[in-house]
Every structure is written in C-alpha cells, then in structure tokens.
Structure 1
Amino acid sequence: MADYDVVLLVEQALSAADAARVRSLHEALEDPVTYHVLLPVDDAAARVEAAMGTLPSSELLGAPGVLANSADLAAVEEDARERADKALADTLAALTSAGATASGQLVQDPIEALAAKVKEVDGREAIILTQPHVVAEFFHVDWTAQARRKLGVPVLHLLEHETFDEQAGEGEGIQGF
C-alpha cells in the first residue's frame, strides 16, 4: 500500500472546518493519505514597495522619512515570519485534529515550491486554498492557473472559509418571492 501524497498550498491558517473539508476529499481512499502543507512568507520589501506605490509622488517628495530603512524592513520580515510560523502550526494542528497526517514548511515562491514539493513526494494532486482573488483569477495569473500550467497532476482550487455548496454558487443570484 503506497501513500497518497497531497500537496496543499495555503494563504493563511486553515480553520477546523477547512481542514475537515480537505480531509473529507480523501476519506474513501484505501491508501494512507499524507498532506504536505506549503505556506508562503510575506516578502516585506515587496509589501513596502506595494504600499508606497499607492502614494501620490507629491506625498513621497514631501516626506523623506517615508522610505523604510533596513532595520524597519528586518522588523517587518521578522513579524511576517512569526505570523507565518504560527499559521503553519495552526494549520498542521487543524489537519491533525481532522484525522490527517500532515507536515509543512514555509516557502518564498509559492508556485516554484509547489512544483518542487509535488515532484519530491511524487504528489498525486495539489490543492490550493485561497481567499477569492477576482482580478488575478480573471487574468489567469492566480496561483491555481499558474500551477495548472506547471504541474502534471490535478489541481483543485478551494476558497477558504466557504463550504462546497457556497463555492458552487448555492444560494447566489436572484431569489423568487
């Protein structure tokens, strides 16, 4: 009996409900299922750059103290790392509580790490759990679209904190009176 390895790429800590939902996808399998969780760490410099990009240039010119120094970036990076460590630990605990066998790691480049992990463990499928990213999904530059182009295994995209029915559109649209 060979392990059925599933690689999970998550944006944030899984709730108990999300972990149970993921586990329910594989309950009928006879082979033991192992989940390999990947959770990206925020890039502090990119976050600062993105935030500064929203400021008008007149704001930047008038406030030379706005530019972050390396000590500020280091503090932001440390905070991001601590939050990611906690989110990963919470996710592994939620999966374990749902009856799963799981391991995990923090990553920098989510799609490269996903591809490498699928290859490393001979993953049978990849599951990406994110919040909705409408613009990225519309232009097919979201994690799921990138992963589908790069991987040779099935890729399932689930929206965090939504049931299967909610993701299928249950209850949406115009209701009759």
Structure 2
Amino acid sequence: MAADSWTVVVLTEDALTSADVDHITSLHPDEEIVYRVLVPADTEHNVVASVLDHLGMLQLREAWDDLVGKEPTPEQASQTASEQVVTSVELLRATGAAASGEVTQDDPLPALQAAVAAGGDEIVVVTYPHAVEDTFHTDWASRAREELQVPVLHLYAGTSALGD
C-alpha cells in the first residue's frame, strides 16, 4: 500500500454484486484505492422494521418469514457474513484493487469508528432500501454521517440508486 493511497471503508449488509463493485470503484477511477469491507453478522434482527420494509416493497413471503421467526442462529449469521466478506473482497480484487474485509458485530458503528481511526478516508454504505430506517434516518449511513467526520455515500445494493 502506497503512502498516498486512499482508504474507502465499505459497509454492506450483503455480498457486493458486480454492479455494486462497478459503482464503488468508479468513484475514484484514477486513484490508488484500498478497500476495507465490513459485513455485520445479523444476529439481532429488528422484526417490526423488517416486516414493514418487506411489505413496503410488496415482498409478502419475506414479511411472513420475518413474522414466523425464521432467523439464523448466531453461528449461521457469522458464517453467512464471512461468506459475504469473501465474495465482496474477491470482486474488488478482481478489478485490480487492494481489498480486505472482516465481519463486525450487529451494530457496525464501532467497527466503522475503528476503521476511520485506522486511516479510513471515506465510507460507502451498501444496503437494500429500508423504509423505516431510511425515513427516520436511523440507517447506518445516517448514523455514520452524524458520528464520523468523513464523507459517507449510501448506495442501494445492486442499483445505481443513492440512499438518503
């Protein structure tokens, strides 16, 4: 890693897709970027918010699954997050970028704070739309903007749409 490289911390709730990586890497096309991917192990799922999110997007089966408690065990959540980190880092590295990643706790803000303290220059948050969190600005990107002194971009997964 060169001394003049820029570190972008990528917080994502799922494995990045090729479209996500294209959008993220296009933000600094002519700079040497180091990416640090963070994926929380979702062990404390907010059922009410998730049901509302799914209903708002007409995802009835997913809303039902949330209601009947088809949640992963902490071990399953950690394993899934680990796989998502590996997939995301591999996609970033396939572009020629330097990338590393790690699984965080349910609340990723402490890991974001540590990443910024360790030299993170900006944050890209990649999530699916969350009606409740996005509306009331309790989503990860809004919380990071309030607490950290670096630029924060919120992208919706698999699209070029920007979150609030």
Normalising by structure 1, what TM-score?
0.72
Distance 1:80 1:15 in 2: 19
How far the C-alpha of 1:134 sits from its partner, in A, is: 1.7
In structure 2, the residue matched to 1:107 is 104
How far the C-alpha of 1:99 sits from its partner, in A, is: 2.2
Number of corresponding residues: 139
Q: Which of 78, 82, 85 is residue 79 of structure 2 equivalent to?
A: 82
More helix by share: 1
In structure 1, the residue matched to 2:18 is 16
Distance 2:122 2:30 in 1: 15
After the TM superposition, which segments of 4 or more aligned residues of structure 1 sit over 4 Å from their partners? none
CA RMSD, aligned part only? 2.2
Normalising by structure 2, what TM-score?
0.77
For residues 40-74 of structure 1, the C-alpha deviation after alignment (integer angstroms, 9 at most, x for no partner) is: 0011xx34x848xx9xxxxxxxxxxxxxxxxxx9x
Q: For the Cα contact (< 8 Å) 1:23–1:99, is it kept in 2?
A: no
Pairing 1:28–2:25 present? no
Pairing 1:134–2:125 present? no
> Between the two proteins, what is the percent identity of the paired residues?
37
Larger radius of gyration: 1
For residues 21-41 of structure 1, the C-alpha deviation after alignment (integer angstroms, 9 at most, x for no partner) is: 211111122xx2100111000
Q: Which of 136, 148, 155 is residue 158 of structure 1 equivalent to?
A: 155
Distance 1:79 1:88 in 2: 14
Distance 1:5 1:77 in 2: 30
Q: For the Cα contact (< 8 Å) 1:6–1:34, is it kept in 2?
A: yes
Listed as ranges, the gaps of 5+ residues in structure 2 are 52-70
Q: For the Cα contact (< 8 Å) 1:16–1:98, is it kept in 2?
A: no
Partner SS for 1:161: coil
How far the C-alpha of 1:158 sits from its partner, in A, is: 0.7
For residues 81-110 of structure 1, the C-alpha deviation after alignment (integer angstroms, 9 at most, x for no partner) is: 111111110001111112211000100021
